[in-house]
Structure 1
Amino acid sequence: MKGLFLLLLQLYFLSFGLGQNILLFPKESVTDYVILRPTVKQALKQLTVCLRSYTSLQREHSLFSIATPRLHNAFLIYPIPPNNISISINHEDLYFNVDPDVLDWKQTCVAWDSKTGLLQLWVNAKRYPRRVTTSRSPIGPQMSLILGQEQDSFGGKFEASQSFVGEMSDVNMWDYVLSTNTISNNYLYELGNIFSWTNGTKEIRGGVMALKN
């Protein structure tokens, strides 16, 4: 019963977009983006990133980008509508075939372990077939984290045609791999240990708007 209650409560939150707050990316541009400042000083040997997004875009776009001084696609979550998502790890691109997009809030979670290369993708609590990267190099320690743009250099060189337009919320990041049970049932109630949507530092650029529900 407890598991069912948590699932129903999560679906309620997903249906109505009841995150802590919402970032609105109003237009296609190279000027609208958000910088995240994670509390991490060492290279990441594992990571999990979860976020929620809401968009009517029918073109490819960047949700979450990590660049290092050496690699501009150190980590990238890059949907390609209607039914593909590209995940980049240290310039290695892996493509996932996913269920077609619908016009609603979408929860996306990506987890990666450098020791095994295991890469996992969940969309709306559904895990897709796992992949293995050839890269075993940790990410960082120096990192630029950007929401809404794909970095072609460290912290910049954006392309408007790759920008995100829509709403985003509940971005959390961990320096370990979350369990499938956590992501599938109650990730909304567990804050990231190296970036938390509730109290993490977010720097808004351009016309991005911070909205309350």
Structure 2
Amino acid sequence: MLWWRIPEAAFLLSVCACVTLAYEDDIEIQYTDYYNEITDGETPAPTPSSTPCNSPDLTKWDKIFSMMENSQMRENMLLQYVDDIVKVEMGTLRGELRRFIAEYERSCGAAVETAGRRMVLQLENHLRETLELLKLSDLTSAVGNFNHMEAQIQQLLSAEHTQTSRLAKLESSCLSSRSAGAGFGLNGKNGLHLQEVTPGEVALDEVLAAMKAVKAELDEELKSSRQRRLPAGCEMALLFPVRSRRIYTAVIPDVPLSLSAFTVCMWVKPTSVFNKTVLFSYGHRRNPSEIQLLLAQTSAVFTVGEEASQVEARSVVSPGQWIHLCGAWSSEQGLATLWVGGKKMASNPGMAKGHSLPEGGSLQLGQERNGCCPLSPTSGSGVAGFEGSFDPKLAFAGKMTGVNMWDTVLSEEEISQLAAQRGQGCQQRGSVVAWGVTEIVPHGGAQFIY
């Protein structure tokens, strides 16, 4: 029995020895791997170690949300920083602009106001001189001096335009800086407000209003002067002051009026128009209405041979306005045409075809011969007894100029040149009646004006 125990004891001793050796080797390894340089005599305090977090792994959605939160926070911080910078810079800019405006506003406004007042005074002086000339001149002298007056008015208008342009440039140069900073004052949520109107701007508005009033007055005066001016370069005109049976003008043609074609043209400015107002009339005892150019209310009428056969242009006449009329007729074609203002307004292809104007008749302006004409050598007119045969209801009242008559039918281009109000139509003379050359005798109160 004892011998059986001896091997068991030996086995246990060997096992213990092996365990002891294994423990010593483990301690040496741990000492070699975790060697700490600790001086003798110092006992370091143990460092508590936190228990590792045993939280589960983050999902991809958790990571995305975390990134978004971080991004939003950084954006808010950046916006706050930018807002602070803008506020500081805007405050600085506002202060600079206010100092600039305070420094230059008074000098600029005073310059604009002074220049504006000086220009207004100059324009008022020119206008006063022109109006004095117009008031001191009567109708005849006004017509004679119109070119000089018109030149003065044109100079005045040119000066007004020049001063307006200079004032606009001055306004732009003085107010451009203020307009650049007009909206940088901080006020309210948006931080913007408009600058108040300065005294310089008020003065500028007053100057512009005064200049506009002067321009309107000049336009009215120029319009009135043009109405007094004779058209087409004419230097004289016939004036029929009132409607009367004694006021007319006799025309003595250079050649007999035995014609198979003709064109008659004239400028007229009626004072008033009625049912029938005679402008040009040629006739004899058998037919006092061989040729008639007349007005009927606002219409122009042209007849040849018989009054029943006529050419009419409606709504072409305005009292107080110059108008150019031409009537043309050809016996071969029997075509009569009426022109108003250089434009063909009406025609009649069947008027007095094959007819020929008889000679020996009488030609009048502003009246017509009505047939029963008792001869009276002492009547005092170019054609005896005419005063007693005129009808005052047919008489013309107004002005007439540029009366010409040709023995041919003029072309459209030639009539257009005659009708140019600012042209030189009066320089063209007719072959039968030539304005300024043919003898024209006024009677009664009719007279030439220049």
Displacement of 1:151: 1.6
Q: 1:134 to 1:170 in 2, by over 3 A?
A: closer
| Number of equivalent positions | 198
CA distance in 1, matches of 2:287, 2:351: 16
Q: 1:193 aligns with which of 406, 414, 431?
A: 431
Deviations 1:192-211 (A, max 9, x none): 01111121101111110111
Tell whether 2:363 aligns with 1:145: yes
Letter in 2 for 1:210: F
Displacement of 1:142: 1.4
- Residue in 2 that maps onto 1:10: none
CA distance in 2, matches of 1:149, 1:129: 24
- Residue in 2 that maps onto 1:37: 252
- The answer (yes or no) to whether the contact 1:20–1:197 under 8 Å persists in 2 is no
> Which structure 2 segments of 5+ residues have no match?
1-225, 374-382, 420-424
CA distance in 2, matches of 1:43, 1:145: 13
Tell whether 2:283 aligns with 1:78: no
Q: 1:168 to 1:134 in 2, by over 3 A?
A: closer
Displacement of 1:81: 1.4
Higher relative contact order (CA 8 A, sep 6+): 1
Instruction: Report the 3-state secondary structure (helix = DSSP H, G, I; strand = E; otherwise coil) of the residue aligned with 1:173.
Output: strand
Q: State how 1:71-150 maps to structure 2 within 5 Å.
A: 71-82=287-298, 84-92=299-307, 93-102=309-318, 103-135=320-352, 136-150=354-368
- Structure with more strand by fraction: 1
- Residue in 1 that maps onto 2:390: 158
Which structure has the larger Rg over C-alpha atoms?
2
Q: 1:204 to 1:129 in 2, by over 3 A?
A: closer
Letter in 2 for 1:38: P
CA distance in 2, matches of 1:42, 1:122: 22
More displaced 10-residue stretch of structure 1: 153-162 or 177-186: 153-162
Q: 1:113 to 1:158 in 2, by over 3 A?
A: same
- Residue in 2 that maps onto 1:69: 285
Instruction: Report the 3-state secondary structure (helix = DSSP H, G, I; strand = E; otherwise coil) of the residue aligned with 2:278.
Output: coil
- Structure with more helix by fraction: 2
> Which structure 1 segments of 5+ residues have no match?
1-13
Instruction: Report the 3-state secondary structure (helix = DSSP H, G, I; strand = E; otherwise coil) of the residue aligned with 1:198.
Output: coil
Deviations 1:168-206 (A, max 9, x none): 001001111111110012461321011111211011111
Displacement of 1:42: 5.6
Q: 2:410 aligns with which of 159, 163, 178?
A: 178
Deviations 1:86-132 (A, max 9, x none): 22211243141333422311111111001111101111111113212
CA distance in 1, matches of 2:443, 2:243: 13
Displacement of 1:41: 2.8
Q: 1:23 to 1:42 in 2, by over 3 A?
A: closer
Instruction: Report the 3-state secondary structure (helix = DSSP H, G, I; strand = E; otherwise coil) of the residue aligned with 1:63.
Output: strand
Instruction: Report the 3-state secondary structure (helix = DSSP H, G, I; strand = E; otherwise coil) of the residue aligned with 1:122.
Output: strand
Q: 1:133 to 1:23 in 2, by over 3 A?
A: same
Deviations 1:55-108 (A, max 9, x none): 1313020000000232100000111012x2222211243141333422311111
- The answer (yes or no) to whether the contact 1:81–1:100 under 8 Å persists in 2 is no
- Residue in 1 that maps onto 2:230: 17
CA distance in 1, matches of 2:409, 2:344: 14
TM-score w.r.t. length of structure 2: 0.42
RMSD: 1.8
- Residue in 1 that maps onto 2:84: none
Tell me which stretches of 4 or more aligned residues in structure 1 moved more than 6 Å. none
Q: What is the identity percentage for the equivalent residue pairs of Structure 1 and Structure 2?
A: 26
